[in-house]
Amino acid sequence: MSVPLPPPELVPLSDILPSEPLLLMGAGPVPIPHAVARANGVVINHLGETMDRVIHRVKIMSQYAFQTTSDKIMGVAGPSSAAMEMAISNLLWPGRKALIFKIGTFSGRLGEMALGVGADVTVVEPPVSQPITARMAEEALRADKYDVVTLVQGETSCGVLNQDVPQIVKLAQAHGALTIVDAVCTLSTMPMNMDDWGIDVAITGGQKGLSSIPGVSLIAFSAKAWDVIENHRQVKPHWCLDAIRSQKFWGNQQYHYTAPVPGILALHEALRLICEETLEKRFDRHYMSSKALQAGLEAMGLELFIPEDHRLNSVVAITLPPGVNSGRLRKYMSDKFKVEISGAFGLNIVRIGQMGEQCRSHNLFKVLYATGMSFRHEGVPVDVSSGMAAIEQHLVRDLEHFVD
Ligand SMILES: Cc1ncc(COP(=O)(O)O)c(C=O)c1O
């Protein structure tokens, strides 16, 4: 008879977590409001009248966030990548052609997924730190015929904004292609009008602009995209990510799989706070906050990686001067100032997030000071005082946007 394994040594979570929570000022996850945290501690039955009402409200509020009237809007149990995978695996299969506009890790991931489901994939990739322009898109669309075009609104990995998304979507439409737009780091931080721009599938995650928890994401399909899905009744590669099965739960309150209830309740609260603030005010708060941060960083003498004309405001990338070690800098910052920012995927940058609760004046002062002092600790002669003065001037000017 086999001997049962003994229980492992007990280690309380408090021994693992830092003694003081770090302020999350990286590329996500971001700090969450108390209402979201509270909701995330509640479990109710995932089926039944109470959950039906929650789902109904989550859908209505998501329509507002995405600016769509589509009723094919649903949550996905999983990271934003799961929502990306749902979009790809329901619209692409062997024989279908995808045009992937890649400007970094995440927009490139959509291409990897498209290859994974057997689609015929063409990748257009400008030099690092450049966006996809409408002209580039037009050229690529003229060269061949595609079923699906994918692109990202804001590329978190390097801090580039694809500001031509509306024109690119229109061009794709004119060439008969459906569009999948990754709005993971941008939704509710800057305008993204799904219906008005004609986007067919829009995706976001919980842990960025929405200031909810990671692990429950959102996806919305246009009527045109839904038609394609409904007419392709083949066995899907992902059972959980089958949009038709998922719509059973999100459209008809029937069992698909046991829904991530606390995450959906958290999302409800995050969306409710967005609706209460209104998108217009939220966009202003994000814009002012990010611009103030950028002014502070530049006044200190730090160089921003992306030129202003296509710089993403949701995630700001700072170029590391020679000799600065990203890991050491960030460790010093979290040990000394209890502030965490992000490294990068192979680029010589660090990144500061400006999404959701990160865009509050108290968080801005703290991250800017911590960043300045940490660069100074790395031997870079930054002028911390000038940076703090610059951010203060911006914030005083725009104070109405920072009423917490
Ligand atoms: C633009 C973008 N798309 C997709 C993802 C993937 O998100 P997740 O890690 O939640 O799967 C991220 C994550 O940072 C992102 O920034």
Tell me the Cα Rg of the chain.
22
Residue with tokens 């000394």: 336
Max CA separation in the chain (angstroms): 75
Atom of ligand 1 nearest to the CA of 206: 10
- 273-322: per-residue pLDDT in tens? 999 999 999 999 999 999 999 999 999 999 999 999 999 999 999 999 99
Residue-wise pLDDT tens digits, 113-167: 999 999 999 999 999 899 999 999 999 999 999 999 999 999 999 999 999 999 9
- Region 66-70: mean pLDDT is 98
Residue 251: which residues within 8 A CB-CB, separation 6 or more? 71, 72, 74
Q: Is the pLDDT of residue 400 over 80?
A: no
Contact 236, 90 (CB under 8 A): yes
- Regarding beta strands 148-152 and 97-101, do their DSSP bridges make them parallel or antiparallel, or are they unpaired? parallel
The atom of ligand 1 lying closest to the CA of 81 is: 11
Asked if pLDDT for residue 401 goes beyond 70, the answer is: no
Other CB atoms within 10 Å distance of the CB of residue 308: 9
Considering Cα of 220, then 225, then 227, then 231, what sign does the dihedral take? negative
pLDDT at 357: 98
Domains of the chain with CATH codes: 34-276 (3.40.640.10), 278-402 (3.90.1150.10)
Cβ neighbours, 10 Å, residue 328? 12
CB 214 within 8 A of CB 206: yes
Our mutation pick for probing the ligand 1 site, out of 85, 157, 161, 184, counting the most ligand atoms within 8 A of Cβ, is 184
Report CA-CA distances (Å) from 160 to 179, 208, 293.
19, 16, 16
Q: Which two tokens stand for residue 201?
A: 């599938």
Query: Residue 395: what pLDDT?
Result: 86
| Alpha helices, DSSP H, located in 126-222 | 134-143, 165-174, 194-197
- 74's enclosing H/E stretch is strand 73-77
Contact present, 361 and 369 (Cβ < 8 Å): no
Residue 192 pLDDT grade (very low, low, confident, very high; cuts 50, 70, 90): very high
> What is the Å distance from ligand 1's center to 204 Cα?
8
Rounded to the nearest angstrom, the distance between the alpha carbon of 80 and the centre of ligand 1 is 5
Q: What is the per-residue pLDDT across 107-125, written as a single tens digit (0 to 9) for each?
A: 999 999 999 999 999 999 9
Distance between Cα 79 and ligand 1 center (Å): 8
How far does residue 184's CA lie from ligand 1's centre (Å)?
6
Counting from 1 in the atom list of ligand 1, the atom nearest the Cα of 153 is 1
pLDDT(247) > 60: yes
Mutate to test the pocket of ligand 1, among 30, 80, 201 (most ligand atoms within 8 A of CB): 80
Q: Mutation test of ligand 1: which of 30, 76, 81, 188 has the most ligand atoms closer than 8 Å to its C-beta?
A: 81
Q: Does residue 325 register a pLDDT over 70? A: yes
Handedness of CA 340, 344, 350, 356 (dihedral sign): negative
Name, in order, each residue with C-beta under 8 angstroms of 334's C-beta and a sequence gap of 6 or more: 18, 22, 340
Q: What are the pocket residues of ligand 1 if the criterion is a CB atom closer than 6 Å to any ligand atom? A: 27-28, 79-81, 106, 152, 156, 182, 184-185, 205, 214
- Report how far ligand 1's centroid is from the alpha carbon of 354 (Å): 15
Sign of the four-CA dihedral 205, 208, 209, 213: positive
The 3-state DSSP composition of the chain as helix, strand, coil percent (nearest 5) reads 45, 15, 40
The ligand 1 atom at the shortest distance from the C-alpha of residue 84 is: 4
Strands (DSSP E) found in 176-314? 178-182, 201-204, 216-221
Residue 262: asked if its preceding bond is cis (omega within 30°), the reply is no
Report yes or no: 367 and 318 within 8 Å, Cβ to Cβ: no
Q: Any idea what DSSP says for residue 313?
A: S
Residue keyed to tokens 């405001």: 313
User: For residue 5, what is the DSSP state?
Assistant: P
Atom of ligand 1 nearest to the CA of 217: 10
Least confident of 33-42, 228-237, 382-391: 228-237
The structure's pTM equals 0.96
In 3D space, the residue among 177, 172, 174 whose CA is nearest the CA of residue 147 turns out to be 177
pLDDT level of residue 402 (50, 70, 90 thresholds): low
Atom of ligand 1 nearest to the CA of 152: 1
pLDDT category of residue 354 using cuts at 50, 70 and 90: very high
Residues, the chain:
404
Which residue out of 107, 112, 185, 190 has the highest number of ligand 1 atoms within 8 Å of its CB and is therefore the one to mutate?
Answer: 185
pLDDT at 403 over 70: no
Q: Is the pLDDT of residue 186 over 60?
A: yes
- Averaged pLDDT, 26-31: 98
Please determine, for residue 1, whether its predicted confidence score (pLDDT) is greater than 80. no
Q: Is the pLDDT of residue 404 over 60?
A: no
